[in-house]
Structure 1
Amino acid sequence: MREVALKRQMIRAQDAKKKTGTFLGKHMVPVVLGPKNRNYVTDHHHLARALLEEGVKDVLVTVISDLSALDKDAFLFVLDNRGWMHPFDENGRRRDYAAIPKTIGELIDDPYRSMAGELRRMGGFAKDTTPFSEFIWADFLRRRIDRNAVAKNFDKAMKEAMSLSKGKDADYLPGWCGPTSD
């Protein structure tokens, strides 16, 4: 999980400077309060996984909605329809709600999501408020770059991704910042 590895490096750098608390205070994890008063993470999954892997026991969360009065089926339906969940697997296929990982530790790597994150950091597209915008870019890349090519040579695949990100085929994607004329 490239994104998690990057977040872990960032956490370690903060820890080395004794600034982990300040860092965590600025990076609250958004959650929806669900059935049985459980927190359901809606964003910053890579950060949450990195914190878990780094042994951080407590994190600050911000409750974006309290849906604890709903039964589980209604709760999942509302999460999905409000764009607070991304029920797709690492191959971009929609999953049944029952197949969604129950814990942060169960999340599976999607190499195209890692590509999308790196593409955004490289300036291939702008940060956008659209929920799961990097997954939308991941699906775009998934349809155009062979998975084996990504596994074999990530840097070469990223060059292709950068080229694709500037093309007209990508102009509908959130944060697109390609050329306006040819």
Structure 2
Amino acid sequence: MASLPVHLRAVAIDDLHPTQLTLGLQEVARRAKKMMALGEQEVDALFRRKPVPCAQGPGGQLYLVDHHHLCRAALVAGYKQVYLDLDRMIDHSRLDARAFWEVMEQEGYCWPIDADGNRRPFARIPSHVRDLTDNPWRTLARSVRGPAFRDDDETPFKEFMWGEYFRSFMSKRLIETDLDLARELAIKLAQLDEAQDLPGYMGAKPKD
């Protein structure tokens, strides 16, 4: 393996703590399948292209700011470490636990909302990505990113925000029984005025 650039450092996934309660397990499975079809050098190149941004919390513990799905998929594919992006490291190590979580949420780096849209105490956030539960609304939002809302918007947790919006209009059963129909409906819902405050909103498409 080639030597690492100065802004990267290998880190065990076991040492990375989540900042959210859920993720989209379908997306995890898709990413893991792609990783398992690659050679080790290709996976290493993938991890170098997508280093994980983290925040240092109390005691110097590392908390994921992004790439929860990547880390979970890496575990499923049999990989135990990824690369830490030192250039994007946020230092909140001097804060106590309560202040840390409050600041993280204020900065948009924490999503303490479960799959049913209920806010949970920060203490309910699992300590490991393997314990994050499925959020089908996050899966739906990710599957329509691009057609429904802009792919280039970097707002943290934007797929969760869009997932919450879609959840207010359709049932979980629809996603489970007919994902294609749910996707078609989500794209139409994304064009409504009600979605205009969401990140990446594109508005209604012009009629032919």
- The structure in which a higher percent of residues are helix is 1
Q: CA deviation at 1:20?
A: 1.1
What's the counterpart of residue 98 of structure 1?
A: 123
What's the counterpart of residue 65 of structure 1?
A: 90
Q: 1:162 aligns with which of 176, 187, 204?
A: 187
Identity, in percent, stands at 33
Whole-angstrom CA distance in 1 between matches of 2:115 and 2:101: 20
Q: 1:12 aligns with which of 25, 30, 36?
A: 36
Q: 2:148 aligns with which of 124, 138, 159?
A: 124
1:59 aligned counterpart, secondary structure: strand
Q: CA deviation at 1:169?
A: 2.5
TM (norm. structure 1) is 0.91
What's the counterpart of residue 46 of structure 2?
A: 23
Count the aligned residue pairs: 180
Q: Is the 8 A contact 2:191 2:205 kept in 1?
A: no
Amino acid at match of 1:86: W
Amino acid at match of 1:131: P
Per-residue CA deviations over 1:2-59 (Å, capped at 9, x if unaligned) read: 111121123224337x411111100111110111221101111111110111121111
2:45 aligned counterpart, secondary structure: helix
Q: Which runs of 5 or more residues in structure 2 are unaligned?
A: 1-24
What's the counterpart of residue 107 of structure 2?
A: 82
Asked whether 1:137 is paired with 2:166, we answer no
Q: CA deviation at 1:181?
A: 5.6
Per-residue CA deviations over 1:117-140 (Å, capped at 9, x if unaligned) read: 00105x211121111111110010
What's the counterpart of residue 57 of structure 2?
A: 34
Whole-angstrom CA distance in 2 between matches of 1:72 and 1:98: 10
Q: Which runs of 5 or more residues in structure 1 are unaligned?
A: none
Q: 1:51 aligns with which of 63, 74, 81?
A: 74
Whole-angstrom CA distance in 2 between matches of 1:14 and 1:79: 35
Amino acid at match of 1:6: R
Q: Quick one: higher RCO (CA 8 Å, sep 6+), 1 or 2?
A: 2
Deviation beyond 4 Å, 4+ runs, structure 1: none
